[in-house]
Structure 1
Amino acid sequence: MGLDDFELEPSEHEPEEWDPESDLHDPDAPGLTIPAVETDETDAPKEVVETFWITVLVVNVAVFCVAVGPMLIYFEGWIREGAAMVIAGIALFGLAYRRYRAFMQGPPPEVDSNVADASSTPARSSESEASSADTHDRSDSSDSTDTHEDSS
């Protein structure tokens, strides 16, 4: 029994197969017409794109090191070189994870210049504190009256 014994042509009872390229056929063009998709290259901020590609590169090198290191140890007997590659790969995975976590946490909060000035100046006088407290009390009382007016 060889390959010539099998009938590879479809029988007349089988339905026609759907051609996924039929809607892409242009009778005026010599071949298939692939629709063009326009994308804006500025869809993502530059820092996101840069961090993404750096992380992809680091993870690819880490995978290479972790994969080739044990092969060097097993097939070639190069224990020192293979172990160094595995350790380098693990360190690169850690670096990529650290970079990812730092990006997801966002930039460190900026120090407000007013806060820095307030911490460097001496404590306020009791007069200014009292006037601030009076202003705060008046705003609280106006808020509470507004609340009572809304409920009626």
Structure 2
Amino acid sequence: MAPSREDDSSWPTDPDGFDPMSVEPEETDPDAIGPRIDIPEAPDPSDTDVPPELRRTFWLLVLMANVGLFALSLGVLFVVFREQLRFGGSLIVVGMAALLIGYLRYRNHRNR
């Protein structure tokens, strides 16, 4: 049994006489295309969410970690590349001390 063919009489046979805009809808609805996704809103963070003591401890630990890593890495660079053992060594000691103090404060706050 042969498949039934649709009525092709509405399609022009001349390719120059075909208008592509004739098959397009007059107005496209962007909401009708694709799946609809509801995007949730993020909660509004405020300063009252965190206790002041925790906020102070956090920023102190961030400062100690930044100072420690900066001084330690700069000290190693001075020792290795410029061979300034006294200055580079003191920077290494300062960096290690800052990292140690930050770690001890972190442990102290965590164990409370």
TM-score w.r.t. the length of structure 2 is: 0.59
Task: Structure 1: give runs of 5+ residues left out of the alignment.
Answer: 1-34, 107-152
**Structure-2 residue corresponding to 1:125:** none
Counterpart in the other structure of 1:73: 79
Whether 1:99 and 2:105 are equivalent positions in the alignment is yes
- Residues 12-59 of structure 1, C-alpha deviation per residue, up to 9 Å, x if partnerless? xxxxxxxxxxxxxxxxxxxxxxx8862221111000000000000011
Match for residue 70 of structure 2? 64
In structure 1, the residue corresponding to 2:49 is in which secondary structure? coil
Q: Secondary structure at the residue paired with 2:86? A: helix
CA displacement, residues 85-117 of structure 1 (integer Å, 9 cap, x when unaligned): 1111111111001101111121xxxxxxxxxxx
Alignment match, 1:46: 52
Once superposed, what is the RMSD of the aligned Cα atoms? 1.6
Q: Percent identity?
A: 32
Runs of at least 4 residues off by over 6 Å: none
Among 68, 84, 89, the alignment partner of 2:90 is 84
* Greater RCO structure (CA 8 Å; 6+ sep): 2
